């Protein structure tokens, strides 16, 4: 009887503690995330031959307007690092001047949006950059030269993200209103929910990006319904490692990073929310599987450092960091993050390795092969590109906007998300704790004397 009782107690203890062990076995903490961010900075300093963060900005400014450089500046600024480097800002201004040096319609609008986000994150007024209203031309007045969504849904999504980054107002005579942009995205929702740049199956990257763009409007019933479906799809598509695959048959860093950005924008904890923990691994755990010893991130697991994977992972890490600190989403520049500093680890200067060319997560700057109307779902395969578009178009004929308003009145504030409805912030003193497996054995050891006494009394 005593042996059976002790065996029962032992099994009971293991059964009770094992789920907690499994759930928290790889749980990355706030300090882990901070360390990973600083690891990226140290890696960049090594590849750029910089000994400090200010020196790194000087080096990066030489490629202002480049995909990765713009995103690095945005992430650094959101992390609380001072990016108001005169050399950098001047380089970005020169890039903007390049946009306007030829036919503006030939410039990819996502290039303009990305550079506008970088400038804005550095504290520059993007409504007057060398006399150009970059905000207007990249968002609500883009239709004066070319339909906003001619490049695809990604351009509409980033236009909303840019407008809402500082809650910019849209004038009454704008070519495209916020409501028109929101409606265009909603009308492109796939059957069963989710979004795709092309095809009828929701891809992780586009679904995550559009969810981020629509998140400030989640108090609208139609938007909320679409967002709930997106969250359900993202939860169901998560793999046991915590990561995601999108355009390929392998789990990728970029797709996983976009989901992290999506969750923080929705006020969902990417570390502890049970909907996004598979086999004990959270989305952040999945993202960390791509982290290399150098501090960089790889596109696929066990590959070399990849530039796109590194800057997208950095954005995701920063979004998680500021979320855990109780601040706004990654694209909300209105709330300035707390000033931060980074410790640069000395590394040998190495050549920047971008790894193999990857197919996923290049949604940011993809173009559709033809103009997509407001009600037409994007089914045409897009042309992938990683280089700047040449300013060589000779036509300056204006095209009519394809976005049509569904409401005569646009509210720039009512549709904003109610921050009081945001889920409870992460508590670094409780759920941020790891639960190592040896706790099971400690519990058993502490209970052993009690079990011995019980055994003797049952004889």
Q: Which residue has the tokens 């804005």?
A: 120
Predicted pLDDT of residue 396: 36
Are residue 6 and residue 53 in the same domain, yes or no? Answer: no
Predicted pLDDT of residue 285: 97
Predicted pLDDT of residue 447: 66
Are residue 458 and residue 319 in the same domain, yes or no? Answer: no
Predicted pLDDT of residue 251: 96
Are residue 113 and residue 224 in the same domain, yes or no? Answer: yes
Are residue 172 and residue 127 in the same domain, yes or no? Answer: yes
Residue 357's domain is classified under what CATH number? 1.50.10.20
Collect the ranges in the chain with pLDDT lower than 50.
Answer: 11, 13-24, 26, 349-361, 368-438
Are residue 8 and residue 131 in the same domain, yes or no? Answer: no
Predicted pLDDT of residue 412: 30
Counted domains in the chain: 2
Are residue 243 and residue 159 in the same domain, yes or no? Answer: yes
Are residue 1 and residue 96 in the same domain, yes or no? Answer: no
Are residue 167 and residue 180 in the same domain, yes or no? Answer: yes
Are residue 428 and residue 298 in the same domain, yes or no? Answer: yes
Give the C-alpha separation, 311 to 315, whole Å.
6
What pTM, to 2 d.p., does this model score? 0.75
Are residue 147 and residue 11 in the same domain, yes or no? Answer: no
Are residue 2 and residue 110 in the same domain, yes or no? Answer: no
Are residue 308 and residue 450 in the same domain, yes or no? Answer: no
Predicted pLDDT of residue 450: 64
Domain that holds residue 452: 1-25+441-459
């Amino acid at each position: 009887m005593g042996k059976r009782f002790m065996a029962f107690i032992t099994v009971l203890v293991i059964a009770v503690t094992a789920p907690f062990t499994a759930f928290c076995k790889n749980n990355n903490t706030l300090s882990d995330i901070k360390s990973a961010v600083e690891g990226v900075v140290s890696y960049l300093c090594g590849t750029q031959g910089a000994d400090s963060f200010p020196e790194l900005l000087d080096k990066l400014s030489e490629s202002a307007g480049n995909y990765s450089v713009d995103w690095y500046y945005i992430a650094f600024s959101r992390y609380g690092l001072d990016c108001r480097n005169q050399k950098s800002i001047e380089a970005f201004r020169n890039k903007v001047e390049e946009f306007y040096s030829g036919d503006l319609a030939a410039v990819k609008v996502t290039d303009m949006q990305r550079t506008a986000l970088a400038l804005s994150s550095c504290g520059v007024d993007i409504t007057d950059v060398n006399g150009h209203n970059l905000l207007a031309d990249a968002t609500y007045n883009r239709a004066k030269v070319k339909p906003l969504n001619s490049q695809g849904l990604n351009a509409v999504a980033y236009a909303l993200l840019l407008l809402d980054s500082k809650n910019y107002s849209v004038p009454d005579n704008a070519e495209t209103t916020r409501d028109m942009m929101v409606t265009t995205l909603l009308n492109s929702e796939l059957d069963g929910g989710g979004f795709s740049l092309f095809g009828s199956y929701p891809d992780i990257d586009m679904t995550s990006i559009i969810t981020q763009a629509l998140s400030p409007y989640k108090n609208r019933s139609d938007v909320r319904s679409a967002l709930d479906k997106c969250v359900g799809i993202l939860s169901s598509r998560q793999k046991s490692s915590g990561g995601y695959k999108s355009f390929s048959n392998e789990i990728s860093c970029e797709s996983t990073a976009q989901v992290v950005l999506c969750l923080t924008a929705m006020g969902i904890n990417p570390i502890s929310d049970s909907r996004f923990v598979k086999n004990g691994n959270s989305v952040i755990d999945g993202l960390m599987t791509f982290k290399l010893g150098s501090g960089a991130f790889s596109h696929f697991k066990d590959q070399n450092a990849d530039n796109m994977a590194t800057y997208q992972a950095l954005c995701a890490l920063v979004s998680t960091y500021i979320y855990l600190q109780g601040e706004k989403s990654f694209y909300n520049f209105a709330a300035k993050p707390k000033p931060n500093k980074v410790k640069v680890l000395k590394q040998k200067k190495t050549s920047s390795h971008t790894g193999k060319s990857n197919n996923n997560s290049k949604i940011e700057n993809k173009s559709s092969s033809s103009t997509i109307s407001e009600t037409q779902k994007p089914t045409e395969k897009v042309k992938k590109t990683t280089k700047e578009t040449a300013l060589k178009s000779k036509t300056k004929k204006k095209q009519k906007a394809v976005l049509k308003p569904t409401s005569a009145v646009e509210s720039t504030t009512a549709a904003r998300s109610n921050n009081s409805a945001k889920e409870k912030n992460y508590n670094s003193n409780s759920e941020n704790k790891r639960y190592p497996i040896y706790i099971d054995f400690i519990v058993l050891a502490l209970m052993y004397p009690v079990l011995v006494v019980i055994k003797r009394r049952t004889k």
